[in-house]
A and B are shown apart, each in its own frame.
Chain A
Amino acid sequence: MTNEFIKQKLQAKFGEALSEWGEPYGMLTVTVPRELNLKVLNFLYDDPELAFRFLTDLTGAHYPDRKGEELSVIYHLHNLVSNVRMRVKLYTPAAQPDVYTATGLFSGANWMERETYDFYGINFLGHPDLRRVLNVEEMDYHPLRKEFPLEDQSRIDKDDDMFGR
């Protein structure tokens, strides 16, 4: 199964809705509209030839320069029979980061979506238990968004010059 074949199958089904095709390091990458994420994932799962039935990874990213679609969700899919991987991305505005949950399709998405919510604040619609999984529950921000400095802002004993602040 080649990347070209997967691309043709997806384009035949979804047409112009898919964009930003690429093959970084040989891994097929495609961007889908955020409303269509479940439809695309379901198609990739159900199609007997594609059969991407394993969710390797689900994570987020923050691109402050992409105005109106700052936050990204990335799915890494794996066809275990043909040993082929591909990447599905979607973008969502930071003002309204609502994305449909993939937990109905992949049970393993549960904790990974909680992690993505924890660090990027992506609101997964329909998630059964969307709360923080790695950080302390009292934390009131999403630390991997670029507007938050990495350093702990609560300490006063460090010399700013020596720590590049």
Chain B
Amino acid sequence: MSRPVRFNLVQKDTRDWGINKVDMPDGHMGEGFFATSFDKVVGLARKNSIWPLPFATSCCGIEFMATMGANYDLARFGSERVGFSPRQCDLLMVMGTIAKKMGPVVKQVYLQMAEPRWVMAVGACASSGGIFDTYSVLQGIDQVVPVDVYVPGCPPRPEAIIDGVLKIQELVHNESLRRRNGVQYKGLLESYGIQ
């Protein structure tokens, strides 16, 4: 004998919960059609489904764990799928001190990611070497890979990391589809000895 359902009987009103939905891009709309430019749609889709690859070596990684957790909930921004395979990820998040011996590993992970790819340096160490101004520490990961967004702090609070992700979203959203084929971008990669 089946039991009657005794929960979720009342439909909740979600209109006041403050849930944001993504705005439609500008375009022409009519009966049964909507026309807009291709890169706006691609930018919209990419922006709201960034897959981060956490490269966490120290305390900033702990802050990132809080960022992914329920209180700060990075999933709200479409980044809930943290991938641990560089092949599938869009955003390399380097969090923590990178020793000079670790430099080639960061570069290898970056090379394994498919285009388009973005890099975020979280915290003082990844951005500039931080307090570790010493012979064994890489003075900022921008010596081995190009960086899109730097997040300051030692370590940054989860709010700062979320702010960095939002900045990345802005870049992703507004990026031209031709940028990665451009001369400037190729020159940037060549300055790092890539390709």
Contact = CB atoms under 8 A, between A and B. Distances in A.
Interface of A: 134-136, 139, 143, 148, 150-152, 154-155, 157-158, 163
A157 to B, nearest CB: 7
B101 interface: yes
B139 A150 contact: no
B38 interface: no
Given A134-B136, A151-B134, 10 more contacts: A135-B100, A135-B135, A136-B101, A150-B133, A152-B135, A152-B137, A154-B139, A155-B129, A155-B139, A158-B133
- The prevalent SS among residues of B at the interface is loop
A136 B100 contact: yes
Contact of A150 (B100, B101, B135): B135
Q: Chain A: interface secondary structure?
A: loop
B105 to A, nearest CB: 12
B169 interface: no
A148 B135 contact: yes
Give the size range of B's interface with the partner. Answer: 10 to 19
Interface string B128-147: 11000111110100000000
A67 B80 CA distance: 62
A148 B129 CA distance: 19
B133 A163 contact: yes
A151 B133 contact: yes
Contacts of B134: 150-152
